[in-house]
């Protein structure tokens, strides 16, 4: 089985770092059997003597613990594999991970002698064994990049169309969604691309002209299911009422629709929506705990699209981005105005984002606790929703009138017209010129003769099929949006050249930082051939980082590095963590990590802050979850603010963030193994191998164990288990003081039936000997002894994300050099590292 050594030089060596030393064969054992032998004088003798004396017992050719043996290992290093092995030995000796603590230990002089010998051997072999390096395979746009690209090309959000809603979900490698090896293309996906292009072009550029129209709705505000009869009886459908937020499982009163406008708007466009609304009973005397709502906050009203053909209009739908949001007045109804984009057939729906949680349960509770407030003569079988509407104080938003006006006329025919055809719009006598200009932007490079011929031929063919010039142009646009030159980040750099040409470099840079095509300035730098010059490249990187479009890099990279996109895949039971749903915590969790990363990126902050920091960024919801004093002063309108964590031993760094703690749990309980592996992969850059088939399950022979620590201790009594768990478990024990959604705790949940809650022990000992007593001291150990390893791991992950490929063995020395430069510059922060990555030869190479 694999011997699980969890600390080393980064995930490039991860597959090998998980393997312990394997001794050399008979010749090494012979050296051990000669006690009177003279100290070794040659490099090979130094290696043979050390491995024979301290490693051969467990790792000779017969036992080969770790499934490897070193009979062929010798100096000078003859292969890349031997380079890796030598490098791995250096890592483990430096951190004193090997030999294991229960084995005979070498003296410091012996360690230093071997370290020096191996380092010289590695350096001597570096040029001789220099490989060609990894190469990024031609990859297609990820679904995320695809939508961003279309939004850029058409200068309008496209999430209202849900173009990728039916696409296969992108595969990931190491949580990265933009690696070429995982972005496969199927016949089904190609068909989806065609349908998406057709929908987009026809909805935005093929829509019929229409004069603005006004719709005015004053009644017949029907609401479905159990709300219908009470609203007919108490209100005669005169009001549209919102009783709860959308994020519930009862789905009663979470979506308000217009019954007389189910067919939606006739054409896609901008529409002004006016809503006459009032917040009702925010001052209710009912117990606030019934509603799980913060009554100190004003009620919010938001607009989302709905489509009656896509499912129940009063239930959640796949396509419902928030189009507009406003505060609802308390004292009297007022007109609230929203200008929103609606696709043809979409109807506006209204939601209550910070509304009560589970309306049905709150009505039942009011019925039970406040029934004496109602006149018993007016009801027969207990208090109902009808009576509460008539006489009670049920908190909700009440809408009395709705006006819809549009489509609103836009300058030059709208953003899409200008983006695709220019400010003068489509011109039949310049159609090919306009199509070729769009093709250059869509293909992200100058067009070649083949491109131009294909575009012109297709356009002329459509004309010969009796299509109008405009329709022929639209069909040609669809063809271009289905072309491999658009769907794939293909390269035009000559095959014999190693470094990317300027246009390929521009595309790689823009998708790394913006997840979108190059803008005109970047295009111009590529056209002039300047982008490959170090000064110009650095200038463009700085400009692009300063642009708000780099938020795509911040969100894309943090989602990948910290695996935040998986938050919500294993949600907790609603009864155990209602605030997770009631306060939409997953979105706040992601934002904390993004704001933290953005702060370090903008200010060139030290990356050690990722390991521990005396500040973070929270909104009111997270301040409450973390028990911070700011929960009393922050308002929802304040959004995210920087807060001090000075003296706070419960938070600080990414390991104290609820998003990380949630995604490293399974929603129901926590496991030191799961979280320990997360720390290894994402902080230390080591991917552990799966447990061998012969290793028993964690549940094997753990009778009598009360806590997960006791279970793991019993489990690890088997030596085949111990060799792995001694490296994983301590990293997870440090995080056991957090529950599955990142709340601080001192005890485990009380077991069902008899028994008391067990106290949590977050202490541990790393294989290299460092000990810690709690989460705070654990972070101190990481900063003191693992900071360089973390920095190298972060650099490697940045390179992987930016290039769209995994780093390979042949990239190792280049990454080492980059890490050494960064670590030598004591002032270097995250911004410096990102710039170093994006100007590195690895990034600039094919």
pLDDT category at 134 given cuts 50, 70, 90 is low
The widest CA-to-CA distance across the chain, in whole angstroms, is: 107
pLDDT for the residue numbered 27? 31
Rounded Cα–Cα distance for residues 438 and 435 (Å): 5
How far apart CA 539 and CA 553 sit, in angstroms, is: 18
Judge whether residue 131 has pLDDT over 90. Answer: no
Higher-scoring residue by pLDDT: 386, 709? 386
The Cα–Cα gap between 61 and 234 comes to: 85
- Mean per-residue pLDDT for 36-53? 72
Following DSSP, what letter does each residue of 558-606 receive, concatenated? HHHHS-GGGTTSSPPPTTT-HHHHHTTHHHHHHHHHHHHHHHHHHHT--
pLDDT tens digit string along 301-338? 999 999 999 999 999 999 999 999 999 999 999 999 99
What is the model's pTM?
A: 0.85
Least trusted range by pLDDT, from 578-592, 615-629, 708-722, 744-758: 708-722
pLDDT of residue 21: 25
Q: Distance (Å, rounded) from C-alpha 719 to C-alpha 572?
A: 34
Taking the CA of residue 46 as centre, how many other CA atoms within 13 Å lie in the half-sphere pointing to its CB? 18
d(CA 512, CA 490): 15
Q: Which helix (H) or strand (E) holds 340?
A: strand 334-342
The whole-number pLDDT of residue 524 equals 97
Find the range with the poorest average confidence among 55-64, 193-202, 576-585: 55-64
Q: What is the pLDDT of residue 33?
A: 39
Q: What is the rounded end-to-end Cα distance, in angstroms, of the chain?
A: 37
Residues belonging to the chain: 846
257 pLDDT higher than 90 = yes
Residue 760, CA atoms < 13 Å, CB-side half-sphere: 21
Tell me: the pLDDT tens digits for 730-752?
Answer: 899 999 999 999 999 999 888 77
Give residue 123's pLDDT: 72
Q: Has residue 544 got a pLDDT over 60?
A: yes
CA distances from 562 to 90, 495, 571, 659, 741 (A): 28, 35, 17, 9, 15
Average pLDDT of the residues in 289-299:
93
Cα(127)–Cα(256) distance, rounded to whole angstroms? 69
pLDDT band per the 50, 70, 90 thresholds, residue 53: confident
Residue 788: exposed, middle, or buried by beta-carbon count in 10 A (0-12, 13-18, 19+)? middle
The answer to whether the CB of 682 falls within 8 A of the CB of 10 is no
> What angle do the packed helices 469-481 and 449-464 form, to 10 degrees?
140
What is the rounded CA–CA span in Å between residue 70 and residue 540?
48
Write down the pLDDT at residue 729: 82
For residues 32 and 56, is the Cβ–Cβ distance under 8 A?
yes
Strands (E), 379-430: 396-406
What mean pLDDT do residues 39-58 have?
Answer: 74
Look up residue 299 and give its two tokens: 């009620």
Confidence at residue 688, expressed as pLDDT on a 0 to 100 scale: 75
Quick one: pLDDT at residue 410? 95
pLDDT exceeding 70 applies to what percent of the chain?
Answer: 85
pLDDT at position 541, please?
Answer: 98
The percent of residues above 90 in pLDDT, for the chain, comes to 64
CA distances in angstroms from 299 to 245, 296, 352, 488, listed in the order given: 11, 9, 7, 45
Task: Round to whole Å and give the CA distance between 793 and 7.
Answer: 11
Least confident of 236-240, 438-442, 471-475, 491-495: 491-495
Q: What is the mean pLDDT of the chain?
A: 86
Q: Which of 118-132, 155-169, 596-610 has the lowest mean pLDDT?
A: 118-132
Instruction: Quickly list DSSP for 508-568.
Output: HHHHHHTSS---HHHHHHHHTT-TTSHHHHHHHHHHHHHSGGGHHHHHHHHHHHS-GGGTT
Highest mean pLDDT among 174-183, 230-239, 506-515: 506-515
In tens, the pLDDT along 176-192 reads 999 998 898 898 999 99
Please name the residues in contact with 62: beta carbons below 8 A apart, sequence gap of 6 or more. none
Give the confidence band of 503 by pLDDT, cuts at 50, 70, 90: very high
> What domains, with CATH codes, occur in the chain?
11-126 (no CATH), 139-208+417-490 (no CATH), 213-408 (2.60.120.260)
Does the pLDDT at position 767 exceed 90? no
- What's the pLDDT at 834? 98
Question: Mutual orientation of helices 502-513 and 551-561 as an angle, nearest 10°?
Answer: 70
The pLDDT confidence band at residue 812, using thresholds 50, 70 and 90, is confident
**Worst-scoring range by mean pLDDT, 16-30, 202-216, 521-535, 750-764?**
16-30
- Of 87, 126, 130, 90, nearest in space to 111 by CA: 90
pLDDT for position 489: 93
Work out the pLDDT band at 706, boundaries 50, 70, 90.
low
């Amino acid at each position: 089985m694999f011997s699980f050594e969890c600390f080393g030089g980064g995930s490039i060596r991860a597959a090998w770092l998980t393997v312990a030393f394997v001794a050399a064969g008979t010749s090494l054992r012979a050296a051990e059997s000669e006690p009177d032998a003279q100290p070794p004088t040659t490099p090979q003798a130094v290696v043979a003597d050390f491995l024979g004396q301290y490693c051969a017992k467990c790792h000779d050719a017969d036992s080969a613990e770790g499934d490897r043996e070193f009979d062929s290992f010798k100096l000078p290093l003859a292969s890349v594999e031997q380079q890796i092995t030598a490098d791995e030995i250096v890592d483990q000796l430096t951190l004193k991970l090997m030999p294991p603590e229960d084995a005979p230990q070498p003296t410091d002089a012996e360690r230093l002698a071997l370290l020096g010998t191996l380092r010289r051997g590695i350096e001597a072999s570096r040029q001789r064994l220099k490989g060609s390096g990894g190469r990024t395979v031609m990859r297609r746009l990820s679904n995320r990049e695809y939508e961003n690209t279309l939004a850029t090309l058409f200068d309008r959000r496209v999430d209202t169309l849900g173009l990728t809603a039916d696409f296969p979900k992108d595969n990931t490698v190491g949580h990265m969604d933009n690696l070429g090896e995982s972005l496969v293309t199927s016949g089904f996906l190609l068909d989806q691309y065609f349908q998406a292009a057709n929908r987009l072009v026809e909805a935005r550029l093929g829509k019929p002209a229409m004069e603005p129209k006004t719709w005015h709705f004053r009644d017949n505000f029907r609401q479905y299911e159990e709300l219908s009869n009470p609203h007919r009886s108490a209100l005669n459908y005169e009001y549209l009422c919102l009783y709860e937020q959308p994020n519930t499982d009862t789905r009663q009163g979470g979506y308000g629709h217009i019954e007389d406008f189910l067919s939606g708007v006739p054409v896609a466009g901008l529409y002004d929506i006016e809503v006459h609304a009032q917040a009702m009973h925010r001052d209710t005397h009912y117990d606030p705990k019934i509603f799980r709502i913060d009554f100190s906050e004003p009620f919010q009203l938001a607009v989302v699209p709905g489509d009656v053909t896509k499912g129940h209009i009063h239930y959640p739908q796949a396509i419902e981005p928030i189009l507009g949001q406003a505060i609802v007045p308390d004292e009297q109804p007022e007109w609230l105005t929203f200008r929103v984009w609606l696709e043809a057939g979409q109807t506006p729906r209204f939601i209550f984002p910070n509304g009560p949680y589970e309306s049905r349960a709150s009505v039942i509770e009011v019925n039970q606790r406040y029934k004496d407030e109602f006149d018993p003569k007016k009801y027969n079988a207990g208090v109902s929703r009808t009576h509460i509407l008539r006489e009670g104080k049920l908190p909700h938003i009440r809408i009395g009138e709705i006006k819809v006006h549009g489509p609103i006329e836009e300058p030059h025919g709208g953003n899409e017209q200008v983006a695709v055809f220019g400010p003068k719009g489509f011109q039949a006598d310049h159609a090919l010129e306009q199509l070729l200009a769009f093709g250059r932007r869509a293909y992200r490079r100058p067009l070649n003769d083949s491109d131009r011929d294909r575009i012109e031929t297709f356009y002329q063919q459509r004309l010969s099929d009796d299509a109008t010039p405009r329709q022929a142009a639209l069909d040609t646009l669809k063809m271009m949006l289905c072309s491999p030159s658009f769907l794939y980040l293909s390269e035009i750099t000559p095959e014999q050249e190693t470094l990317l040409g300027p246009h390929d470099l521009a595309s790689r840079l823009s998708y790394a930082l913006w997840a979108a095509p190059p803008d005109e300035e970047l295009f111009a730098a590529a056209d002039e051939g300047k982008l490959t010059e170090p000064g110009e490249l650095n200038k463009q990187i700085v400009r692009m980082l300063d642009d708000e479009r780099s938020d795509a890099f911040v969100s894309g990279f943090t989602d990948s590095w910290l695996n935040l996109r998986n938050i919500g895949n294993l949600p907790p039971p609603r009864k155990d963590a209602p605030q997770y749903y009631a306060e939409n915590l997953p979105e706040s969790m992601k934002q904390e990590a993004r704001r933290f990363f953005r702060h370090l990126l903008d200010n060139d902050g030290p990356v050690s802050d990722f390991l521990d920091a005396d500040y973070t960024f929270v909104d009111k919801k997270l301040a409450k979850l973390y028990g911070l004093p700011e929960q009393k002063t922050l308002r929802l309108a304040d959004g995210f603010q920087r807060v001090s964590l000075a003296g706070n031993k419960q938070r600080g760094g990414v390991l104290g963030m609820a998003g990380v703690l949630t995604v490293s749990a399974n929603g129901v309980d926590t496991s030191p193994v799961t979280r320990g592996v997360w720390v290894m992969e994402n902080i230390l850059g080591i991917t552990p191998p799966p447990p061998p088939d012969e290793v028993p399950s964690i549940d094997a022979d753990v009778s009598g164990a009360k806590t997960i620590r006791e279970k793991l201790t019993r489990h690890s009594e088997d030596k085949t288990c111990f060799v792995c768990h001694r490296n994983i478990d301590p990293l997870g024990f440090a995080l056991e003081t957090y529950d599955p959604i990142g709340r601080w705790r001192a005890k485990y949940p009380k077991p069902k039936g008899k028994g008391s809650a067990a106290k949590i022990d977050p202490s541990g000992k790393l294989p290299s000997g460092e000990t810690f007593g709690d989460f705070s001291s654990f972070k101190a150990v990481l900063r003191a002894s693992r900071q360089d390893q973390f920095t190298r791991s972060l650099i490697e992950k940045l390179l992987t994300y930016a290039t769209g490929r995994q780093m390979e063995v042949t990239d190792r020395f280049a990454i080492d050099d980059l890490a050494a430069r960064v670590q030598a510059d004591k002032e270097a922060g995250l911004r410096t590292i990102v710039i170093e990555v994006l100007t590195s030869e690895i990034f600039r190479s094919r």
